[in-house]
Amino acid sequence: MSRFGVFLCRCDGNISNTVNIDRLEKHFSQTCVVETDQHLCSLQGQQKIKNSIRKHDLQGVVVAACSPNNHGKTFRKCLSDTGLNPYLLELANVREQCSWVTKDQKSATRKARDLVNASIQRLQHAEPLSEFLVGVTNAALVIGGGIAGITAALSLAENGIKTYLVERQPSIGGNTVRIGKVFSPHKMVEECAMCSLSPLMNDVYEHPNITLLTNAEVTSVIGTAGRFSVDIKIKPRSVNERCTSCGECATVCPIEVADWWNANTRNRKAIYKPFPQAVPDRYVIDIENCVKCGKCSKACKSKAIELEAEPSLQKVKVGAIVLATGHEEFDPSLRPELGYARLDNVITQLELARIIGVNGPTNGELLRPSDGAKPSKIIMIQCVGSRDEKPNGLHYCSSVCCMVALKHANYISDYSPGTQISVLYTDIRTPGIYENYYRHVQDKGVRFIRGRASEVKQKAGKLYVSVEDTLRSKCVELDADLVVLSTGMLPSKGTVELAQKLGIELSEELFVKEKHPKLEGASTSIKGIYVCGTAQGPKDITYSVLQADAASLEALSLIGQGSLSIEPLSAFVKDSCNGCGICVRHCRNNAIKIVDRAATIDPMLCTGGGACIHACPTGALDLHNSTEAQLEASIRGMLAGKVNGEIRNIAFLDSKIGYAAADNIGASKLQYPSSVRIISVPSVLRLAPRHIDLAFKLGADGVFIGQGFEAESCGENFESVESKLNNLSASVAQLGIDPARLKIYRVYIPHFVGLHKRLMQFDKGIRQNDEPSDELALRSET
């Protein structure tokens, strides 16, 4: 009997309802110490593992439970507490990859057996590793200058942390500066948003611990938690600090473009101040629309205009990053039946907010866009784009739209008495004490009709809205002078772009996915990077501020440690290195250097993707925790129990993106064939033709390779990785393997359904290939 322990988790039926745990216990008890528990992740379950390690003097542990992304650190700590090296642990994912995706108990049990067997085989080649401590940079980066980013930056700065606040727009403030009014359910009245926000903006500008970088965006982030190196591109404002905000330059500027701050309800000049309370308090030139006529420069008495200013690049080093990149508004023109952009008097709630704002295009007067007349009948249409199953629709509730409609209805009732307001709703959602505000608005005489509008049309200058009143079971046509669309929230382009650069996991809706929705609501899938505000999902100002405080607290706890443990997952050099330097040319992270005619690897720069390993002509390089022996053992273990006629497909998925997408498939309970056996690799660059060849020799019917390209692997971009994958495919074909049995797929975490579909199609294709080629059959027998 080996001195390995196998611990099988029943997971309160999540696993044991499908997988026959008793049969697995009987099978593996012949060679290992085996114990079972309802919840291995609980204190009692962890104690059982510790007691067994001490009692049997175990040399390695296999835990068959949920995904290592859930409790991998928990079980490693169990080993550490007993004195056993934490890297002598293997985790068999028998929940997300087995019980949740396979209904048949026999198939699920057989697959679970193979997953555990592969872990045992791999454990035989595991090596004790030691984490190493690195200093943490005492600085933080906040990306996004809306209310959430401002809150996080001030919280960090007040605690003595040097903070860089980066904002794409020329001024901080975000969407909050455009909404005009905010409300409190306690007071039942609307208040000026800028009265609350403007002091905070000024605090940011004046705080000694905050460096404010507007008109800027993050272009590159490398490094790990505690030691991030960030490149920030700063677009020229073309107006320097001598600007006194007199406005003479804008007066003479001949170019007019739509004004974002006013929700495009009026125009601004190509040289402009974003809004009266803008921070920094100076003008900026829109270089995309400026024709460089020079009139502004001649009009400027302060000589502040710099028409030939160039972009600059600033490099900063930080210990933690907070994402507060905000949201965008659903484009209502995607619902042409509602008339937006086709009928003059159909507007959005944001445009209405600007119209009734005291500093808006009509100085606060409620006037129709078409003719400047005062509307007497207003219809508000809810859920435009939200809770929408149509193409381009948002399947989720955008959380704040109902409250925004109530706010504007209440305000108009007070300041334009006599205006008839009707709200067409799917369901009014006013959680908690906001229900009081809903009743308050009803008492004002605002009419609520349950039903979705099907069409908005215009007859003789009048708008008509068709809707099915579902409470009265009748279709009605309502006339209106003004129609207001309550549009949904969707992730900003900056959120998606930045998440792809950082390799952060996104939700299916493309918001930044929190690490754990209940326990770690401000953490992302990358340690040291946190999220807050509407970058994480639709929410109001109150919850955005609360989450910003939570994100800053998480960042503070990391930075405040002073030092951080780094996992030893880098490449390493064996004795056979001859110092040829080929590996240096293949490492784009500059982690390898030749010293005394031998390669040396900096573990802080190495990302552990494995691209260098196959470049070495002498085989002198290997990868900690994913050695050649461990990878081959995983393949052998997965295929060891195959019987004649059984289909087995090996799926190599990169550990960051592909594996997480597979976890999402399991969490969504999407079924796929039990023939699929997943092996995690740091990156598909770790794979060589010999690994594919080995899988087929051992009887694999097909090999599926899934790599996520949201994050660069080994410093290589998508095109480079794709080229290497194509080379891998060509090399495999030269080995005489049927190309139809090898599939390479690009994986996105949010679109895990796509990975599920491809796995299903791949298995179906393998099964339809009735007779393998003679060459393949011969290799399988060998």
| Domain harbouring 166, CATH code | 3.50.50.60
The letter for the amino acid at 203 is D
Assess whether 574 and 554 both reside in one domain. no
For residues 271 and 239, is the Cβ–Cβ distance under 8 A? yes
**pLDDT at residue 717, rounded to an integer:** 63
Assess whether 474 and 367 both reside in one domain. yes
Task: Read off the tokens for 364.
Answer: 């606060």
**pLDDT at residue 774, rounded to an integer:** 39
Interacting residues of 405 by C-beta distance below 8 A, sequence separation 6+: 349, 380, 382, 423, 484, 486
The mean of the pLDDT values for the chain is 91
Interacting residues of 320 by C-beta distance below 8 A, sequence separation 6+: 140, 141, 225, 226, 228, 528, 529, 530, 554, 555, 558, 559
Assess whether 636 and 655 both reside in one domain. yes
pLDDT band at 715 (very low <50, low <70, confident <90, very high): low
Is residue 187 classed as helix, strand or coil in its secondary structure? coil
For residues 216 and 167, is the Cβ–Cβ distance under 8 A? yes
pLDDT (average), residues 556-573: 89
Angstrom distances, CA of residue 256 to CA of 285, 290, 298, 354: 12, 9, 19, 19
Domain boundary among 566, 587, 605: 566
Task: Read off the tokens for 524.
Answer: 């992302």
Q: Which residue has the higher pLDDT, 1 or 482?
A: 482
For residues 140 and 322, is the Cβ–Cβ distance under 8 A? yes
Domain boundary among 583, 606, 623: 623
Interacting residues of 141 by C-beta distance below 8 A, sequence separation 6+: 163, 164, 166, 218, 228, 230, 316, 318, 320, 321, 322
Assess whether 5 and 99 both reside in one domain. yes
Residue spans of beta strands (DSSP E) within 559-712: 563-566, 571-573, 592-595, 598-601, 621-623, 649-654, 676-681, 702-708
Range of the domain at 345: 330-490
Q: Which residue has the higher pLDDT, 709 or 751?
A: 751
Task: Read off the tokens for 385.
Answer: 């784009």
Encode pLDDT of 606-629 as tens digits: 888 888 888 899 999 999 999 999
Is the pLDDT at 566 greater than 50? The verdict is: yes
**pLDDT at residue 780, rounded to an integer:** 34
CA atoms of 434 and 184, how far apart (whole Å) = 9
Assess whether 695 and 740 both reside in one domain. yes
Total tally of structural domains belonging to the chain: 6
Assess whether 163 and 252 both reside in one domain. no
For residues 493 and 500, is the Cβ–Cβ distance under 8 A? no
Sign of the torsion angle spanned by Cα atoms 514, 661, 8, 131: negative
Assess whether 202 and 275 both reside in one domain. no
Is the pLDDT at 770 greater than 90? The verdict is: no
CA atoms of 263 and 286, how far apart (whole Å) = 17
Q: Out of 35-39, 537-541, 672-676, 683-687, which region has the weakest mean confidence (pLDDT)? A: 683-687
Assess whether 288 and 408 both reside in one domain. no
* pTM metric for this prediction: 0.79
For residues 682 and 628, is the Cβ–Cβ distance under 8 A? no
Omega of the bond leading into 375 within 30 degrees of 0 (cis)? no
